[in-house]
Amino acid sequence: MISWLFLSFIFGYVASTDSFNEYLTTNPLQDGRVDVGFNFTITDSEISPHTNLFPLPLVNLLRSPEIDIDELHLSLSAGIWDYSKWHYPHFPQLGSSGIELWVSHNSDSTPTKWNRLVHTLSGMFCASFSTSDNAHQVELKGKTWTHAQIASQLPCTENLTPFIALLPCKSSAGLGQLLNPHKLFDADYHSLGLSLYRTDNGARVEIMIEAVMNPTRVNQQRQYSTKGMLDRSVNSPCPLADSSKVYFNLPPTPQQGHDEDLWVVLPEDHDGEVKDGIVDLDIMQSVKPLALSVVYPFQEIFTYPKSITNPPLLIRRDQIAGPIEETMLVRTVVENTEDNDRQVSYFHSIPWQIEPWLHTFTINGGLNDTSYKHSLGEAKKDPYKLQVNATIPAHSQLTIECLYQRQFLQYADYAPDIHRGVDIPPGVLLFNRDDETRFQYTTPLLIDLATPDFSMPYNVIIITSTVIALFFGSVYNILVKEFQLIPRKEKAKTD
Amino acid sequence: MYRAIRKLGIPDSNIILMLPDDIACNTRNKYPGSVYAHKDHRLDLYGERVEVDYRGYEVTVENFLRVLTGRHTEDTPASRRLLSDENSNVLLYLTGHGGDEFLKFQDTEELNSQDIADAIEHMRVKKRYNKMLFISDTCQAATLANRLYSPDVLAIGSSLKGQNSYSHHTDREIGVGVIEGFTHFTLNALSDIDSNSNSTLADFIDSFDKKQIKSTPGVRDDLFGDLSETLLTDFFAGNIKVDVLPPDVKHELVVGESVDKIDDIENDKVQEDKTTVKETKEMHILDNLNYSHIFALLFILSLIIHHL
C-alpha cells in the first residue's frame, strides 16, 4: 500500500514538470508617481486535468475544442496611462482603459467559438466580456487575432478575486499577500492582465497586475515605501514558488548641485543586492518581512519637474466640434519624437451610433507607403473600423481626421444611462521597439448623443389627447345637439 | 446581505449576486474598493473577496427571470446559473426603487409582481426549489408578493402598500443614506445567530419593530407551512455535516448525486480516497451536504436607498 502510494507519487512527479515564478517590480516615474508591477508565471509541460500548480479553469479553457484557443491576452484596466510622463508600462500588454481581449485560435475563428469564449471568461472573471460588440480581426506576428474592447467596464475587487484564485498560494503567502484591493483600486492607473500561451506540449500563463501609485497625493512628499503603497508586507514566502523576487528600481542619481533630489534606501541593512540601480531581493532567502522605502532627506515638498523627457512616440485623439451641430471631428495625431523614421500601424473602432462621413477622411504627414482600410459598420451590430499603416518621418506628425455624425436612435436603442454618453474604446497604435511589438493606446472618448427627454412621448400623448378631447367634445356637442327656437315668454306684468 | 450569508457559511458558488452599479470602485467613492453600511465604517461589505455574477448593463429583467427559471443561452457558464433542485431552499432578496407591484431595473425597466409570481411557479413546475424565502426591501415592497400563487413561498416586504421604506441613517462623510432601515434590522437579527442556531422564521418575523424600521413589514405566509417549525438557518446558513461512523461499520462510499455538487477538485479527492477507505474499512462519510441545497439570489439595485 505504502509502496504503491510512493510509486505513484514519484511517477506523478516525473510525468509533469510545472513551475511557478513570481516577481514584483517598482519603478519611480519622473512626475513623482511610482509604477508597481506584479508578475506571476505558471508553466506546465503538459495540459492535463491532473494539474499540480497550473490553474484548473485555464486547463479546461485550453482543452476545450469548442473554444480552441491558441493564445489569449486579456486586460481589465481603469484610468489613463500617461505615456508622455510615464513612458511605457512594464508589461507590454497593458496600458489600455476598460476591457481588452486578444485571442488567436488554432483554426479559423467562428462566432460560435467567440461566444463560448466570452461567456466562459465572463463567468471566470466576473466581468461582462459578452457585452463587447466591436470584435474584429487583426493580422499580427503572423497570426490572425480577434480583438475586442469594452470601454465602459472598469475593474474592481470582484475581478481581482478570480485573479488571486488562480495563484498557487492565493493571497496567503508570497507576493500574493501584497494584492490589497483597497490600495490597488485607489491608484491613478491600475490594470489586471492575463496572458495564456501554448508551449510545445504544455502551457504558460502570466498573470500581470500593474498600478501607478501617487505618493505625493497624501502630503506632497515624494518618499515612498512598499509598505506605504500597498499597506501590506510579505511575511512568508510561497513554498510552492520556484522563485520569488523583488526588483526595486532606484531613482536616477541626482545632478550636481541638486541636493533636494538626494535619496537613500531604507532600511540600510535590507536583504537585497544593489546592482545597476536596482535592489534585487529574493523573498525565498529573505529573513525579514518585505519593507523597502526611498526617502528624500533634503526635500520638504515635491516640486513637479520643469521639463520631462518624451517617449519615442506620442499619440493623441481628440474630439472637436464639427461644422454642423450633429457632427464632430475626430482627430488622431501620432508624433515621432525620435531621429529615425518609424513604421506604425493604428486602428480604432467607433460604435455604430456614430457614423463616419468617409468623404471627409484625410491622412497627412506619412511617407508614400501610407495605406488604410475602412470596414463600415452595420446599425445595431457592427462598429466602424479603421486600420492605418504608415511610416512617420523623424520629428514629424501623422494626422488622421474624419467627420462623424451622431445618429438619432430609436427609443429602445438608448442605453439605460445614455445621458452619460457613449464610450468609445481607446485607439491602438502598434510599433516595433527593441524587436518587440509595443502597444500604445489613446484615451477613450465619451460622446454625447442627441438624447431626448424620455418623458416627452408621454407628455405629447397627454397633451394631444387633451386637445383632441376638448376639440372633439365641443364639435361633437355642436353636431349632435338639436337647436330649437324657444319662444320668449313674456313676463307677466306685475302691476 | 451577501456578507451576512457568506459569514453564515454559504459559499460563493451558491450565491448569485447582481449589482448594476459599480459603487465600490466608482471614482466618486471616497473609500476605493469599499462599501460601508454604517457611518462608523467598521464593516466593509465589499471586503477583499467578492464574486459578482451579473453587473452593469447585464442586470436586466430578462436576465433576472432567466436566472430564476433556468432558461439560459447555451453558453452561459455555471457560475451564472441557479443550479438548484427540488431539495434546495432558495433565498431571493431584492432591493432598489419600487412602488405598487413593481421594482425598477436600471431606470428603464420594471419587474412587476405578476412576473415574479409566474417565474416562481415556473420554478416549482421545474422542481427548482423546495422552500423559498422572498424578501424585498423597497417602497411598498409587500405589494410585490400580491400575485404569488405557488406553494412553499414565504414573502416578506419591508413596507405595506402606501408606505415608503426609509434609509436608516445618513453617512455625512459620503453624503448619502447608507442602509435601508429594514435591511439594517434584518442584518442585526442575522448577526445574532450562528449556523447551528435554533431560531425560527417566526422568531425572525417577531423581531421586526415597525417603530424602529419606520414602516410596517408585510408578511405573506398563506402559501407557506408552519413558520415556527422552519429554522432561519434553512435559508441563511450553510452547514456541512460530516458524521464519523464507528470503525466496524462496513460501508462503500458511492460517489453519488450529492457528491457531484462539490467542485471538481474535491470530487477528485473523494475518488482518490475511495481505495484507501475500502482497505482500512474505516470511513468518514459525507452524510448530508446541506450547503449545496441553499441558494441565494441577491439582487441589489442600489445600496443607496432614498425614499421614493
Q: Distance from A181 to chain B by nearest Cα, in Å?
A: 6
> In terms of Cα–Cα distance, which of A444, A457, A446 is closest to A81?
A444
Residue-wise pLDDT tens digits, B165-216 = 888 888 888 888 888 888 888 888 888 888 888 888 998 898 888 888 888 8
B198 touches chain A (CB under 8 A): no
| A146: in domain | yes
Regarding whether A321 and A274 lie in a shared domain, the answer is no
Residue-wise pLDDT tens digits, B6-22 = 888 888 888 999 998 88
Asked if A185's CB is within 8 angstroms of B52's CB, the reply is: no
pLDDT attached to residue B279: 32
Are the beta carbons of A148 and A132 closer than 8 angstroms? yes
Residue-wise pLDDT tens digits, A63-88 = 998 888 999 999 999 999 999 999 99
Regarding whether A25 and A45 lie in a shared domain, the answer is yes
Using the predicted structure, report yes or no on whether residue A453 has a pLDDT greater than 90: no
A221 or A12, greater pLDDT: A221
pLDDT attached to residue A15: 54
Give the domain-ending residue among A266, A301, A336: A301
Structurally, how many domains does chain A consist of? 2
Asked if A123's CB is within 8 angstroms of B78's CB, the reply is: yes
Q: Distance from B206 to chain A by nearest Cα, in Å?
A: 36
Regarding whether A237 and A95 lie in a shared domain, the answer is yes
Look at A33-42, A84-93, B4-13 and tell me which has the smallest mean pLDDT. Answer: B4-13
Q: How confident is the model at residue B297 (pLDDT cuts 50, 70, 90)?
A: low
Interface of B with A in 38-67 (CB under 8 A): 46-58
Pair type for strands B89-95 and B131-137: parallel
The model carries a pTM of 0.83
pLDDT attached to residue B264: 39
Asked if B32's CB is within 8 angstroms of A182's CB, the reply is: yes
Q: How confident is the model at residue A7 (pLDDT cuts 50, 70, 90)?
A: very low
Of B38, B97, B169, B306, the catalytic one is B97
Is B97 designated active site? yes
Using the predicted structure, report yes or no on whether residue B286 has a pLDDT greater than 50: no
Give the domain-ending residue among A267, A301, A335: A301
Regarding whether A241 and A180 lie in a shared domain, the answer is yes
Of B41, B139, B284, B306, the catalytic one is B139
Using the predicted structure, report yes or no on whether residue A156 has a pLDDT greater than 70: yes
Regarding whether A321 and A297 lie in a shared domain, the answer is no
Cβ neighbours of A153 in B, within 8 Å: 56
| A380: in domain | yes
pLDDT attached to residue B134: 94
Interface of B with A in 62-91 (CB under 8 A): 73, 75-80
A493 or A443, greater pLDDT: A443
pLDDT attached to residue A62: 93
If you measure CA to CA, which chain B residue comes closest to A190?
Answer: B25
- Best to test chain A binding among B35, B75, B298 (most A CBs inside 10 Å): B75
Helices (H) and strands (E) in chain B, counts: 9, 14
Regarding whether A175 and A58 lie in a shared domain, the answer is yes
Residue-wise pLDDT tens digits, A318-341 = 999 989 888 999 999 999 999 999
Asked if A184's CB is within 8 angstroms of B33's CB, the reply is: yes
The three state secondary structure string of chain A is: CHHHHHHHHHHHHHHCCEEEEEEEEEEECCCCCEEEEEEEEEEECCCCCCCCCCCHHHHHHHHCCCCCEEEEEEEEEECCCCHHHHCCCCCCCCCCCEEEEEEEECCCCCHHHHHHHHHHHHHHHCCCHHHCCCCEEEEECCEEEEEEEECCCCCCHHHHHHHHHCCCCCCCCHHHHHCCHHHHCCCCEEEEEEEEEECCCCEEEEEEEEEEECCHHHHCCCCEEHHHHHCCCCCCCCCCCCEEEEEEECCCCCCCCCHHHCCEEECCCCCCEEECCEEEEECCCCCCCCCCEEECCCCCCCCCCCCCCCCCEEEEEEEEECCCCCEEEEEEEEEECCCCCEEEEEEEEECCCEEEEEEEEEEECCCCCCEEEEECCECCCECEEEEEEEEECCCCEEEEEEEEEECCCCHHHCCCCHHHCEEECCCEEEEEECCEEEEEECCCEEECCCCCCCCHHHHHHHHHHHHHHHHHHHHHHHHHCCCCCCCCCCCCCCC
| A11: in domain | no
| A476: in domain | no
Residue-wise pLDDT tens digits, A184-238 = 999 999 999 999 999 988 999 999 999 999 999 888 888 999 998 999 999 889 9
Residue span of the structural domain in which A368 resides: 313-447
B37 touches chain A (CB under 8 A): no
Regarding whether A395 and A284 lie in a shared domain, the answer is no
Domains of chain B: 1-239+290-300 (3.40.50.1460)
Is B25 designated active site? no
Percent of the residues in chain A that have a pLDDT greater than 70, as a whole number: 96
Residue-wise pLDDT tens digits, A268-313 = 888 888 988 899 999 998 888 888 999 998 888 888 888 888 899 9
Regarding whether A395 and A286 lie in a shared domain, the answer is no
What value does the mean pLDDT take over residues A140-168?
A: 90
Q: What is the mean pLDDT of chain A?
A: 89
CATH code of A344's domain: 2.60.40.740
Count of beta carbons in the 10 Å neighbourhood of residue A278 = 17
Regarding whether A237 and A163 lie in a shared domain, the answer is yes
Asked if B75's CB is within 8 angstroms of A126's CB, the reply is: no
Q: How confident is the model at residue B289 (pLDDT cuts 50, 70, 90)?
A: very low
| A102: in domain | yes
| β-sheet bridge partners, residue A28 | A34
